[in-house]
Chain A
Amino acid sequence: MSEPTPAQLPEHPRLNRLFRLQWEEAQQAYVLLYPEGMVKLNLSAAEILKRCDGEHTINQIIAELEQAFSEADLRDPVEGMLRAAFEKDWIQ
């Protein structure tokens, strides 16, 4: 059914419902909140996770980010970040 790497990642990544992504004024950063904890995100991680809504495909996420930030070749960094997020259970 699924292809080998990098498609171990879900096709339509979705933020795990245990986590909530929001802007924290006091931190001046996006954070992930979860039961009794918080992870501070850098800007690029936040931009990627914002698009993990269960509708965007990974290709769409990459295309949107390349357009939004006028950069090419974001596939490797985006997929790398998504793999790390998947490992940590942030996305499903």
Chain B
Amino acid sequence: MTQPTINPPFWLLAELTYRCPLHCVFCYNPVNYDSIKNELDTDAWIRVMREARALGAAQIGFSGGEPLLRDDLDILVAEARRLGFYTNLITSGVGLTEKKIVSLKQAGLDHIQLSFQDSTQEMNDFLSSTKTFELKKKVAALIKKYDYPMVMNVVLHRHNIPHIDKIIDMALDLSAEYLELANTQYYGWAMKNRQQLLPTREQLVTAEATVNAYREKIGKQCKLLFVVPDYFEERPKACMNGWGSIFLGIAPDGAALPCHNARELPGLQIPNVKEYSIQEIWHESQAFNFFRGDSWMQEPCRSCSEKEKDFGGCRCQAFLLTGDPAATDPVCAKSPNHHVVKLAISEAAASAKAETSKEFPLIFRTDANSKRYVR
């Protein structure tokens, strides 16, 4: 075991706010988000961007919650672009008026990632607990009108994965350059709803075949990104490409996060940008060094020949499923806890069999529900 070398951060995720007009059942935001107030102000965000860029970060994602709810979004985008970031807006589209899209273009925004929940109004609006489908379609047209590259993002789960062909057709209709068919990852609100969201293996096999058939047919017209959810794999994902390796997330309140959900992990002292520079946070903080390299690993990871490839998987998943954030990600077939993943799959399959079309008890991401999870 050697001291890990520290590479510059590559991806700065600026979670500008946890406020959001949508209430998606699969949101990865912390379930107690409602208790996290004190959003960073414009000057603080500008300092964060400058310091991260100076360290070498090249991509910035403006996300949330819904980043368009911040009045200073144009200012932040303009500064990010001036600093040389490739600027990505990750949005539900709610609030993206023509006026706004023009001012963001002037600010130098490079790319917009627009989320949809499904290809039909009924399911889109149900899953986000809003009436936003028609609006999103209008926004997609505006994105094209102002010649932005468009990545469409649809989070997949048991209830929309059977419509994957319709979802791809919709992306083609709306001239998206990329379609991210992102299988739900089970953290935050999604974990609360896992039994209702986890697809069945049969659904996944069918979906993957459909995606492959479309790839053959459409060529370069739209790039389809589809990754089998890790619960159904034999090896874990290389989460964050390794801890403290490329990803730097800044939460609305200034908490600096080595992964989106690091706040949930016990034992970490999460640094805040209000108290430390990005240089100190990235290089010296306890949290960013905690799972860097491999000296923290247990067996079977420690002696595994694949540890350089997947870095032991996801720390948050290890914690959520085993109670120990340093355990091998139980998605791995070598994990002594792998049975918990198998059990989740079979329970979800049983629940899929039992449920009648739309009568499933989902917990929506709302302020009222969030208040119940405040610790």
Write the B130-153 contact mask toward A (1 if CB under 8 angstroms, else 0). Answer: 000000000000000001010100
B58 with A33: CB separation less than 8 A: yes
Q: Does B159 contact A (CB under 8 A)?
A: no
Given contacts A18-B177, A20-B86, A26-B55, contact A36 B149 (CB under 8 A): no
Q: Does A37 contact B (CB under 8 A)?
A: yes
A35 with B58: CB separation less than 8 A: no
Q: Does B111 contact A (CB under 8 A)?
A: yes
CB of A46, distance to nearest CB on chain B (Å): 15
A35 with B113: CB separation less than 8 A: yes
Write the A15-36 contact mask toward B (1 if CB under 8 angstroms, else 0). Answer: 0011010101111000101111
B10 with A38: CB separation less than 8 A: yes
Q: Does A89 contact B (CB under 8 A)?
A: yes
CB of B136, distance to nearest CB on chain A (Å): 18
Residues of B within 8 A of A24 (CB): 56, 58
Q: Does B84 contact A (CB under 8 A)?
A: yes
CB of B282, distance to nearest CB on chain A (Å): 12
Q: How large is the interface on A (under 10, 10 to 19, 20 to 34, 35 or more residues)?
A: 10 to 19
B59 with A36: CB separation less than 8 A: yes
Complex alpha-carbon distance, A25 and B110, angstroms: 20
Residues of B within 8 A of A38 (CB): 10, 58-59, 86
B149 with A18: CB separation less than 8 A: yes
Q: Does B217 contact A (CB under 8 A)?
A: no
Residues of A within 8 A of B236 (CB): none
Complex alpha-carbon distance, A17 and B148, angstroms: 9
Given contacts A17-B149, A18-B177, A89-B220, contact A35 B88 (CB under 8 A): yes
Residues of B within 8 A of A31 (CB): 58
Given contacts A20-B86, A20-B110, A22-B84, contact A35 B151 (CB under 8 A): yes
CB of A20, distance to nearest CB on chain B (Å): 6
Write the B146-189 contact mask toward A (1 if CB under 8 angstroms, else 0). Answer: 01010100000000000000000000000001100000000000
B147 with A17: CB separation less than 8 A: yes
Contacting residue for A35 out of B111, B147, B220, CB 8 A: B111
Complex alpha-carbon distance, A38 and B10, angstroms: 9
CB of B57, distance to nearest CB on chain A (Å): 8
> Which of A17, A34, A37, A89 counts the most B-chain CB atoms under 10 A from its CB?
A34
A34 with B86: CB separation less than 8 A: yes
Give residues in A with beta carbon < 8 Å to B: 17-18, 20, 22, 24-27, 31, 33-38, 89
Q: 22 A-B contacts, Cβ less than 8 Å apart?
A: A17-B149, A18-B177, A22-B84, A24-B56, A26-B8, A26-B55, A26-B56, A31-B58, A33-B59, A34-B86, A35-B113, A35-B149, A35-B178, A36-B11, A36-B88, A36-B111, A36-B151, A37-B59, A38-B10, A38-B58, A38-B59, A89-B220
- Using A33-B86, A35-B149 as known contacts, list a sample of 4 further A-B pairs with CB atoms less than 8 Å apart, ordered by residue number in A: A26-B8, A26-B58, A33-B58, A35-B113
